[in-house]
A and B are shown apart, each in its own frame.
Chain A
Amino acid sequence: MSSSSSATVRRILREAGIGLALLAMIVFFAAAAPDFSTHENISNILTQITINLILATGMTFAILIGGIDLSVGAVMALCAVVAGRLLTLDGMSEPLAVALGVAGSLAVGMGCGAANGWISSFWGIPSFIVTLGMLNIARGGALQVTNARTIYDFPDSFNAFGTATVLGVPVMFVIALVLLGLGWLVLTRTVFGRMIYAIGNNEEAVRLSGHRPLLTKVLAFTVTGLFVGIAAIVYMARLTIANPILGVGFELNAIAAVIIGGTSLSGGRGSLIGTLLGAAIIGVLANGLILMGVSDFIRQIVTGVVIILAVVLDSYRARLARG
């Protein structure tokens, strides 16, 4: 009991540290760039981090269980073009087309995720390799489905969804936040969630205690895929196109958000609250540097420095915690 409560304290301290870093960044940009703290800009930042936040929420499941998913950007493109095809089918009512499109995207995402999880855990292949393969399959599939063309002309009601706001907050961001909350409940309050942490910490111990990790691993990767399917829908509604080459490199941004958020790349340690903070840090940084007029090249360098800094700080904190 006492060890678990000290672990909770440590976790809260870690998240507080990341939160402080975000706060410092916000204070800095608010002082350095006059337009930063306007209502419009805050709303912009929320829109801009939404896709990465959804992908990173899903990615947190894969990383917590001790894996990684390099295929999310490519699978997102496959989800989008399949949904795009369904959305633009002739002779369908708008609500039916939208329902089919959303269902198609989620099904493709979950299917690819389940395949990633099953192949890597059934044959004991590192998910790094399996998802690298899936990256190529999904990207090739997306190109095949579209013959490399951009799909457009979605129903108006679908496109309107992408820019809708509630009390000045983008609806898409609210959805991402609700999903993150649900994910947090699953990870912290369910057997499935606790099993993910247990497997990420010590898969062998889980096996020896008589549990079979296979199903949990497949499910964790399926959740990652589900979030990819949701991100694809958000992308399409916001930009009103589906393009087979979209999402290149998105996996790296999602991984960066998870890692900056304090989740350990070796699994078993971290939280979705951290992921939210990590995604916010990346978004605020990109936004603030542009508002300050910092050049593209410097902006890229600064982003890289922040990622390394976050990981260094995390290992420093871990060492402190061990005493």
Chain B
Amino acid sequence: MDRRTFLAGIGAAGVLSLPASAAWAQLKKPVVGLVMKSLANEFFKNMQEGALRHVEERGDCTLIPLGIQSETDIDGQIALVENLITRKVDAIVIAPADSRALISPLVRAAKAGIKLVNIDVLLDANALKKHHVEIVFVGPDNKEGAKMSADVLAKALGAGGKVVILEGNPGAANGVQRKEGFMESIAQYKLDLLDSRTAHWETEEANTVFSNMLTAHPDIQGVMAGNDDMAIGVVKAIEAAGKKGQIKVIGFDGIAAIQPLIKNGEVLATVDQFGAQLAADGIDAAMKEIGGQTLTGWVKTPMKLETAATI
């Protein structure tokens, strides 16, 4: 019965189609659960595809990729972790939907002997310490990346340049870190911050909010957008206001739709975090842990500044 359940679990991961002998070899491979946020998000969709490619290349583990319905479906993500504990996977690689709420199911997983790797958004260090659990973090430095992108704008404008910020969802860890990066750049290059507002990562909302900011502050020279979707909305608002070329924009994420805008100069820079690579690095870390190594601290993953010169 136990083995049948196990086989069913493996089957769900899509390996039963292999010939019988290969399937037996497969059974001995460690199983890694990859828990992401919303697969409706291009970033996580890329991550999932990159992870599947990577596991196929490695060939020494089986991957169960899982995602939730929406970015804020914290309950749903907790249920996914609990499912993986029940299925007795060897390791869980997780991009937490919330940096605190996921800690108690992860502590349970750690107690069940499952190796853990935290990717994308950092889990709350103090809360982990309270439970005496240490989880390695594999991910980009959102703050540093945002600063890289913002520095391009700051250098183009020079000291005293008047800028506004479009923030992500209030309270979202990556949104907060990106704003911190923007603020650091503003302080270093002595820019003048006129206003900072959320557009909830959304193109249409960014378009509306930025048009209104521009009315209130017609002298805006630069815009720092927390993601590329919002940067696109800003660019369209600038065009509509007849100020094309007069206001400089930077974004974050490096999605495909931003590339033509960077090429034609409407967006100065964005930062690619290599979502596909991120999960692959997480899986590598998990396999090292399964192999007996103990990883701690922050394994920083590469980011790339994209400008007209690099595309």
Contacts and interface: CB of A to CB of B under 8 A. Distances in A.
Contacts of B39: 143, 148
Interface stretch (A13-21, A37-45, A204-212): A37-45
A59 interface: no
B232 A241 contact: yes
Contacts of B236: 162-163, 238-240
A27 to B, nearest CB: 18
A243 B206 CA distance: 14
B216 A291 contact: yes
B216 A293 contact: yes
**Interface SS of chain B:** helix
B233 interface: yes
A297 B40 contact: no
Given A150-B256, A241-B257, A47 B211 contact: yes
Contacts of A48: 208, 211-212
B256 A147 contact: no
A239 B211 CA distance: 13
Given A35-B215, A290-B197, A291-B212, A244 B40 contact: yes
Contacts of B44: 148
A51 B212 contact: no
Interface in A241-262: 241, 243-248
B207 interface: yes
A112 to B, nearest CB: 19
Interface in B202-228: 202-204, 207-209, 211-213, 215-216, 218
B212 A238 contact: no
A287 interface: yes
A195 to B, nearest CB: 35
A148 B45 contact: yes
B170 interface: yes
Contacts of A297: 170
A150 B215 contact: no
Nearest to A291: B216
Contact of A153 (B41, B233, B260): B260
B42 A33 contact: no
B235 to A, nearest CB: 9
Contacts of A33: 216
A62 interface: no
A165 B250 CA distance: 28
Interface string A8-40: 000000000000000000000000010110101
B257 A152 contact: yes
B198 interface: yes
A44 B240 CA distance: 9
A143 B195 CA distance: 34
B197 to A, nearest CB: 5
Contact of B216 (A35, A51, A149, A246): A35
Contact of A286 (B40, B212, B233): B212
A40 B214 CA distance: 10
Interface string B228-241: 01001100100111
A153 B232 CA distance: 13
B229 A243 contact: yes
B240 A47 contact: yes
A308 to B, nearest CB: 22
B101 interface: no
B212 A290 contact: yes
Contacts of A235: 204
A247 to B, nearest CB: 8
A296 B198 contact: yes
B255 interface: yes
A247 B40 CA distance: 13
Contact of A239 (B195, B204, B216): B204
A40 B256 CA distance: 32
Given A147-B45, A150-B257, A296-B198, A246 B209 contact: no
Nearest to B236: A239
Contact of B203 (A36, A241, A287): A241
18 contacts: A36-B215, A44-B215, A51-B204, A148-B40, A149-B42, A150-B229, A153-B260, A163-B236, A163-B240, A238-B204, A239-B232, A239-B236, A240-B236, A244-B40, A246-B204, A286-B212, A287-B212, A293-B195
Given A150-B229, A240-B236, 8 more contacts: A48-B212, A139-B40, A163-B240, A239-B233, A241-B203, A246-B202, A286-B208, A296-B198
Interface of B: 39-42, 44-45, 170, 195, 197-198, 202-204, 207-209, 211-213, 215-216, 218, 229, 232-233, 236, 239-241, 255-257, 260
